[in-house]
Amino acid sequence: MRIDNISNVAFLGNYLPRKCGIATFTTDLSEAVSSVSSQLGVSVIAMTNTPETYNYPKQVSFEIRQHNIDDYKRAADYINSSNVDILCLQHEFGIFGGVWGDYLLTFMKSINVPIVTTLHTVLEKDIGQEKVFREICDLSDRIVVMSQRAMKMLGRYNIPDNKKIFIHHGVPDLPFVDPNFYKDKFKAMGKKVILSFGLIGPDKGIEYMLEAMPKIIKKHCDVIYIVLGSIHPEIFKTKGEEYYLYLQRLVDKLKLNKYVFFHKKFVELEELCEYLSAADIYVTPYIKKEQIVSGTLAYAVGTGKAVVSTPYWYAQELLAGNRGMLAKFKDPSSLAQAINKLLDDPIVLHTTRINAYQYGRDMTWSNVAINYIDAFNGTISSIEEGKVVYGRVERPIRLTSLPEVNLNHLRNLSSHYGIVQHTKYTVPNYKHGYALDDNARALILATQYFKLFQDRKILLLLDKYLAFVLNAQEESGRFHNFFDMGLNPTDENDSTFNSRDDWHGRALWALGYVIAFAPDHYSGIAKEYFDKAIAQRVESIRGAAFAILGAFYYLKRYGGARDVLSVLESYCNRLVTEYERHQDGKWQWFEDILAYANGVLPTALFKGYTVVKKKKYFDTAMATMNFLLDNCIRNDTLSLIGNHRWYKKNNVRSRFDQQPIDAFWMIKVCKAAYLVTKDEKNLKPMKISFEWFLGANDGNLNLYDFVTGGCYDGLARTGVNLNQGAESTICFLLSLLSMKEISVVQENPEKEI
């Protein structure tokens, strides 16, 4: 081992006290590397998955919030400005934000130090993540895997042999001891102790081990089974203790209360070693073969336990050479047979333990740390000597300088019933009640936020907005729009540009979006109300455009729905007809006025084109989008049509009052064009349109309030309208999420959004 090329190493991954296997691994590895030499400086960048930070130790010098892409850029700047020689990155798909964790790519492309990446999962086949996985491998200077099977699996990615390194999963360095010396601590004297430990979830297969216990007890009545570990935090978020309660009911059913003990806690290393020392047999009854590494299995083998496991990939490798026994998946009888074979013959049990312990000597954390330091040193040497250039991908990162998503004002506007229409400055003005329009947009926002960040806390708001939309529907399938504070429908205030058709279309758009992207349990009820609403004809062209969007998203989930497809095509034809009737050489539009939410019209035709593939839809969408851009972008600044008197054909356009909803639809139409054409020239006007919110407008004034998370209601000649109502705030947030989605698509061109 040489350390002459490195003085400071940074580790990136989850870190204790966060409770997960990656956190334990990163903590153990960084501490082991730190203990090898006093000359090495070690720091940690910790991935954080909760709004509240963990109580990290001083080794953690920087935190990245999983779903905040700006944090990844800040972390890259931090690394680049620190005295770090090399970064050791722990990769697992579930710990990074974005689509399949692709926010990590932003970080990797931005740092200037070599990267050694430890892969905790290696993909055998393309299941959606492969593009991100390949790029992570490209951006890494060395790849570390923890099994020989993983080394072979990397062959399908054409990674050079001298870029791949095999290093064992580390294990604590414990003496080979008689378990009986430690059993008194667990009140298990005179018992044979079977142990499973780790974060608990349905894929662990504990229920099959419980069902095996009666067959084991029949031959060995002195056996007890300890299940050590808490519910996996991510499983607890979605399903609570459902699995644990199921296991406890199964224990009762099988009358195993005297033999099975749940120690429901996440233990530190010292206490874990005591449990391992007291165990006679360790069991991993996992139910899936696709597991390339298991820290718990490594610990058991490395500390000299006799192991019985199902034959997942890592177990097959680690337990070869009589270092343990394999049982069939989901087969209690097979588990019982293997365990009884060990318990029946003390010589077989002892020999299995010795074989495991001897193999585990190379796996101790001190040896693993030395292997990592050699990898770090070799990586830097190869780069400095010019022996290896791995072609790390360098691409410009676009559209990523975006504000953090702040939902505070959205929550402020949301009452028990839904989102309130208006405010006095930032204070909700309840006397003006509610509107279906705002709740439909808010429903899309909540669904899009969940789709992008998978944060289940937003579902509380999604529930409110969906309930509002559903309860606004009449028996006929039509919708009320305006409601008082008690949710009683009030007189509908139709106007030229806000007709009953428009809000009916918006409801269809929202329900269709829920059907496409919300968690499954929302889709059925949204479909029921959508089906009732789509049967009602809309006449206004914006109502038709919103209905097209609703049908488009509905067909994303139910592509074979011919009646909905027919409605989509009918409304697309209607828009084309209106365009052909009103356009001339200079006026390329659907009507004789540019009014509000103009971008929704060509956006709808772009979406219709992706479904029906009629060239006239695409041609009309392109012509009208370009006409809109020509009239609204001047000197790379968005100058929206004001709603003072709009812009009538052969007349003078209004410059003020400009509305956030119009900026939002400019972003949406550019996004729709980009998704259809993949032509990046559409990204420039999209970015220009978003920057309207941030001061790049005719007044050089911010429309977005960074303090509250709200958006001012408009840009007037005299300044901004200081009220921060629902429509404005939602339109800003939808604009921001659209920008973030396009950043994702740039890195994943095949990704559908």
Model pLDDT, residue 389: 43
Determine the Cα–Cα distance for residues 118 and 96; give it in Å rounded to an integer.
Answer: 14
Q: Predicted confidence band at 399 (pLDDT cuts at 50, 70, 90)?
A: very low
Is the pLDDT confidence value at 400 over 70? Answer: no
**Residue 179 to residues 276, 300, 335, 339, 350: CA-CA distances in angstroms?**
8, 13, 21, 16, 11
List, in sequence order, every residue forming a beta bridge with 215; answer none if it has no partner: none
- Residue 518, CB half-sphere, CA atoms under 13 Å: how many? 27
Homologous superfamily, domain 8-170+365-384? Glycogen Phosphorylase B; (3.40.50.2000)
CB 199 within 8 A of CB 229: yes
Question: Which phi and psi angles does 379 have, rounded to 5°?
Answer: -65, -50
582-628 pLDDT, tens digit per residue, is 999 899 999 999 999 999 999 999 999 999 999 999 999 999 999 99
Lowest mean pLDDT among 181-190, 291-300, 583-592, 660-669: 181-190
The reply to whether 179-360 shares the fold of 8-170+365-384 is yes
CB 413 within 8 A of CB 419: yes
68-78 pLDDT, tens digit per residue, is 888 998 898 88
- Residue 311: asked if its preceding bond is cis (omega within 30°), the reply is no
Q: Predicted confidence band at 51 (pLDDT cuts at 50, 70, 90)?
A: confident
Is the pLDDT confidence value at 716 over 70? Answer: yes
Determine the Cα–Cα distance for residues 749 and 753; give it in Å rounded to an integer.
Answer: 10
Amino acid letter for position 244: Y
Residues in the chain: 753
Model pLDDT, residue 127: 62
- Average of per-residue pLDDT values in the chain: 90
List, in sequence order, every residue forming a beta bridge with 594; answer none if it has no partner: 647
| DSSP H helices in 402-519 | 408-413, 436-453, 459-471, 500-517
What CATH code is assigned to 408-747? 1.50.10.10
Model pLDDT, residue 93: 87
Q: Predicted confidence band at 467 (pLDDT cuts at 50, 70, 90)?
A: very high
Number of H helices, E strands in the chain: 26, 22
Lowest mean pLDDT among 228-232, 238-242, 249-253: 238-242
Model pLDDT, residue 158: 84
Model pLDDT, residue 604: 98
Q: Which CATH architecture has domain 179-360?
A: 3-Layer(aba) Sandwich (3.40)
The whole-model pTM stands at 0.55
Determine the Cα–Cα distance for residues 150 and 216; give it in Å rounded to an integer.
Answer: 34
- Sheet of strand 482-483: strand arrangement: 420-424, 427-435, 482-483
Q: Predicted confidence band at 149 (pLDDT cuts at 50, 70, 90)?
A: very high
Q: Predicted confidence band at 499 (pLDDT cuts at 50, 70, 90)?
A: low
Torsion, Cα of 730, 733, 737, 739 (10° steps): 120
Model pLDDT, residue 491: 60
485-496 pLDDT, tens digit per residue, is 999 999 654 444
Record the tokens describing residue 414, joined without a space.
């949301």
Lowest mean pLDDT among 311-325, 453-467, 516-530, 641-655: 641-655
The full set of domain ranges for the chain reads 8-170+365-384, 179-360, 408-747
Q: Predicted confidence band at 753 (pLDDT cuts at 50, 70, 90)?
A: low
What one-character DSSP code corresponds to residue 707? T
Record the tokens describing residue 179, joined without a space.
């378990």
Determine the Cα–Cα distance for residues 188 and 280; give it in Å rounded to an integer.
Answer: 11
What one-character DSSP code corresponds to residue 435? E
